[in-house]
Amino acid sequence: MTGDKDALQIIPPAARRPGMVRQVILEFEKSKRKHLWLICAAMLGVLLLWFGYQSARQVEVTTDYRVLLYSLPTVNAVFLPLLSAVVASTVCDVENRANTWKQLLTMERAEDLFCAKWLTCALVLAVVVTVEVAAASVIGGGLGFQSIPASECFVLWVSTLAVCLFVATVVECLCLFIANQFVPLVVGVALSFLGLFSMYLPPAISVFVPSSYFGLMSTVGMSYNAATGVITWSTVTWPVGYLALIALLTAATFVISLRAFARKEL
Amino acid sequence: MVGSVMYPVERLGISSEPRRGGAGFARRATNTSFEPRDRMAVTTTGLTKRYGDACVVDRVSLAVPERAVYGFLGPNGAGKSTTMKMLLGLAHPTEGSATILGTPLTPKNRLEVLRHVGSLIESPSCYPHLTARENLEIVRQLRGLPKSEIDEVLKIVRLDDPSLRRKRVGNYSLGMRQRLGIAAALMGKPPLLLLDEPTNGLDPSGIHEIRALIKDLPRMFDMTVVVSSHLLSEVDQMADHVGIIRKGQMVWQGPLADLHARGRHWIALRTTDNAHALELLSGAQADPDDASYLRIKAVDDAVAARMSLCLAERGVGIIRMEEHEDSLEDIFLAITGMEETL
């Protein structure tokens, strides 16, 4: 080796590479005409309709806002794993369909591409969850429930987004290593299906089911008195241990996938 | 005296051996006919890629001169694509090294080096749900190029028709997508272009068009083009330098003219009295392919004139005198020892 310093002089200077913000914008440009926002809006619409229907039946019993905070995670457990999987699959699958991995990895670092895709999914899901929490508050208010305190809205937002990001990270990992997009979508559907039953699973099992974490991180507890037939709602401390666990799992999945993707040969 | 007036064996004699070496010359010959002063756009030293026990690329030493169209020739599965992927850092060499445009390629400087390299590997990369312009806009932004680049490359590959402005690439023919892939590789007019089988799947007119474009690139943009192909005729028409790879090993490389020069040249001669002519011409022999002909080594016009005069003086009339040479395929088969065609 004559030394990189000397050799590099042969190559003329080139323009600057785009930063992460520009790369995230590029990911949105790649998803143009994939109807990503429309799909999110449609799924969110169905979720909110279900939530509204459920809440409307409860308002005759009580107007306690905790009813809303209890029922929203149950609906989330069914819809949001699938929505998260669809978002991650849409963002990542464009490269599989276009056969662009080889071309892109001659222009940008694998790590940057992975992070840009993850950030794009995170941004979309953050918007979805923000809209969902805001819409749930509005729907609750419209039905006659007490307004949800801002701090509770924040806790709900963080808890919901954390689970969505975990699912999206797992699905992104699958999309990057499996060209067949059937597999990631099956994962999304399976998690949604499990979400249907997540509230009925014993805690020892539900910690192993990602969809359960919507409910596990709820700040509202419910007890049902079979003798009187009365349901009582109570506020419980935010189980940050579960939040830490799902955040740790997300980080671990992210780091392992990132390293594997960076080492992947095409 | 009859024999003594004839031309000596070394001047008229037939040689069944190629001019240099022959069918039996070393398979792994590292014939680099380049002058030391030639600047190389790409060089590799002992580039090797193994997948488990399978050695896909075996100590390949490429030498691609600047501003050349280098045809990387070999049958399917010979290791062309893997070699090109290693040049782009998409596959990691098991052993060996590559120098691109004077810079040794390392994982650290890979992207910096590749900013000056355009590539099209295996099949065109384009988003089917976007238009050609939108596809190139993504490449433009990643490469940090001015917007005018898009119009320029679209014009070069003739995809600048206004009717295509809103057409999504998913509705393009394979040839159009291939041209778009080449356009993406041309973005920024990189000094080095690596094209892996760029005419795959194209119709005859598309093939002709792409070949003509590739041939013109060094002249138009001072580019060096490495183009892989399994088609001898294609390389013959496009390239001025050639590297032949077989079963992962480089069996020959050098200027295409040198490859052609390796072929045998001879004159097939049919006379009124072949037996007498055979006696008169030292080194002549019966043509193994056609008994009605004699075969002598190729000679220049003056020698051929003297030879015909000599035969005529001794009462032997010449009916046919034809110049023959080995085809590129014959030379390739001799070099690689392959019996089957590519």
Put simply, the answer to whether B144 touches A97 (Cβ < 8 Å) is no
A264 touches B at CB < 8 Å? no
Chain A neighbours among B 188-207 (CB < 8 Å)?
188
Average pLDDT value for residue range A87-102: 91
What SS3 class is residue B307?
A: helix
* The two three-digit tokens of residue B283, written as one number: 């080194």
* The two three-digit tokens of residue B129, written as one number: 């749900």
Of the partner residues B113, B117, B144, the one whose CB lies closest to the CB of residue A15? B144
Closest residue in B to A19 (Cα–Cα): B142
Chain B neighbours among A 25-64 (CB < 8 Å)?
26, 29-30, 32-34
**Model confidence at B301: pLDDT above 90:** no
| d(C-alpha B164, C-alpha B183), whole Å | 15
Put simply, the answer to whether A103 touches B125 (Cβ < 8 Å) is yes
| d(C-alpha B193, C-alpha B121), whole Å | 11
Q: Which residue has the higher pLDDT, B236 or A6?
A: B236
| d(C-alpha B132, C-alpha A106), whole Å | 20
At A10-54, the pLDDT tens digits run 444 555 677 899 999 999 999 999 999 999 999 999 999 999 999
Predicted confidence at residue A36, as pLDDT, reads 94
**Model confidence at B201: pLDDT above 80:** no
Cβ neighbours of B122 in A, within 8 Å: 102
Residue B194's alpha-carbon distances to B44, B81, B206, in angstroms, are 14, 10, 19
Predicted confidence at residue B338, as pLDDT, reads 61
Name every residue whose Cβ is closer than 8 Å to that of residue B208 and which is 6 or more positions away in sequence.
Answer: none
For the four alpha carbons of B1, B2, B5 and B9, in that order, the dihedral sign comes to negative
Cβ neighbours of B198 in A, within 8 Å: none
Q: Which residue has the higher pLDDT, B288 or A126?
A: A126
Put simply, the answer to whether B144 touches A16 (Cβ < 8 Å) is yes
Put simply, the answer to whether A99 touches B102 (Cβ < 8 Å) is no
Residue B220's φ and ψ, nearest 5 degrees, are -70, -40
At A46-64, the pLDDT tens digits run 999 999 999 999 888 889 9
B308 touches A at CB < 8 Å? no
| d(C-alpha A193, C-alpha A3), whole Å | 58
| d(C-alpha A106, C-alpha B118), whole Å | 9
Nearest to A133 by CA among A47, A28, A220: A47
Predicted confidence at residue B297, as pLDDT, reads 84
**Model confidence at B232: pLDDT above 60:** yes
Residue A264's alpha-carbon distances to A93, B89, B121, in angstroms, are 17, 11, 17
Report whether B42 contacts B100 (CB < 8 A): yes
Put simply, the answer to whether B90 touches A108 (Cβ < 8 Å) is no
Put simply, the answer to whether B142 touches A104 (Cβ < 8 Å) is yes
Reported confidence tier of residue A195, pLDDT bands at 50, 70, 90: confident
Cβ neighbours of A94 in B, within 8 Å: 127, 129
DSSP state of B171: G
Helices and strands in chain B: count of H runs, count of E runs: 12, 15
Of the partner residues A16, A32, A105, the one whose CB lies closest to the CB of residue B90? A105
| d(C-alpha B177, C-alpha B183), whole Å | 9
Q: Which residue has the higher pLDDT, B39 or B262?
A: B39
DSSP state of A147: P
pTM above 0.95, yes or no: no
Cβ neighbours of B41 in A, within 8 Å: none
Predicted confidence at residue A183, as pLDDT, reads 85
Share of residues in chain A with pLDDT > 70 (%): 94
Predicted confidence at residue A157, as pLDDT, reads 97
Put simply, the answer to whether A11 touches B103 (Cβ < 8 Å) is yes
- Structural domain spans, chain A: 23-263
Q: Which residue has the higher pLDDT, B313 or B16?
A: B313
Helices and strands in chain A: count of H runs, count of E runs: 11, 2
| d(C-alpha A245, C-alpha A239), whole Å | 10
Average pLDDT value for residue range A223-250: 88
DSSP state of B87: H
Smallest Cα distance from B169 to chain A, Å: 10
Q: Which residue has the higher pLDDT, B231 or A30?
A: A30
B127 touches A at CB < 8 Å? yes
Cβ of B169: how many Cβ atoms within 10 Å?
22
At A103-120, the pLDDT tens digits run 999 999 999 999 999 999
Average pLDDT value for residue range B150-170: 92
At B108-133, the pLDDT tens digits run 999 999 999 999 988 888 999 999 99
Reported confidence tier of residue A204, pLDDT bands at 50, 70, 90: confident
Of the partner residues B91, B102, B119, the one whose CB lies closest to the CB of residue A265? B91
Residue B47's φ and ψ, nearest 5 degrees, are -65, 125
Residues paired with residue B227 on neighbouring β-strands, in sequence order = B71, B195
What is the Rg, in whole angstroms, of the alpha carbon atoms belonging to chain A? 22
- For this complex, say whether ipTM is above 0.95: no
Report whether B144 contacts B172 (CB < 8 A): no
End-to-end distance of chain A based on CA atoms, in angstroms? 27
Smallest Cα distance from A52 to chain B, Å: 36
Put simply, the answer to whether A8 touches B122 (Cβ < 8 Å) is no
Cβ neighbours of B93 in A, within 8 Å: none
**Model confidence at A236: pLDDT above 70:** yes
